[in-house]
Amino acid sequence: MSPEEVAAFLAGNHKVQVATVGRDGAPHLVTMFYALLDGKIAFTTYRSSQKVLNLRRDPVMTCLVEDGDEYGELRGVALYGSGRVIEDREPLLKVGAVVGSRMAGLPVPEIGEPVAPEFAAGLEQAMAKRVLVVMEPDRVVSWDHGKA
């Protein structure tokens, strides 16, 4: 995929498989809902989660976003780099609003758009024990089996 196609693909999806390195060197793999923050995959997670503990010890992280059911439909983007753990409430709430709206079946705001006051109050409480993780890619690999 071209860089523009990669950007559109990432913008059009919302689940990412995230791999971090465990204390014993084994991969720790989870699926997360994400939003794009300045064009980068970003997600919220509990401050005490295993992936955050792993990233604080070793920031190496790989992300995979893929779709397709038949071989000829398979498309994906793998990002290799590091996960940056962010404690700052402003970007945390921005990403939380997008992901939370999507998960609640509500209209999904663009990053930074205001949300309904009743949703904002719940969001503030939901994000109290969470941090933001942003994928800082060093290398991006993509594929699209549907291309001729």
Q: What is the pLDDT of residue 42?
A: 98
Q: What is the pLDDT of residue 129?
A: 95
Q: What is the pLDDT of residue 124?
A: 84
Structural domain boundaries in the chain? 3-91+132-143
Q: Which CATH number fits domain 3-91+132-143: 1.10.486.10, 3.40.120.10, 2.30.110.10, 3.40.50.2020?
A: 2.30.110.10
SS (H, E, C) the chain: CCHHHHHHHHHCCCEEEEEEECCCCCEEEEEEECEEECCEEEEEEECCCHHHHHHHHCCEEEEEEEECCCHHHCEEEEEEEEEEEECCHHHHHHHHHHHHHHHHCCCCCCCCCCCCHHHHHHHHHHCCCEEEEEEEEEEEEEEECCCC
pLDDT, tens only, 21-47: 999 999 999 999 999 999 999 999 999
pLDDT exceeds cutoff 70 at 148: no
pLDDT, tens only, 54-74: 999 999 999 999 999 999 999
pLDDT, tens only, 11-25: 999 999 999 999 999
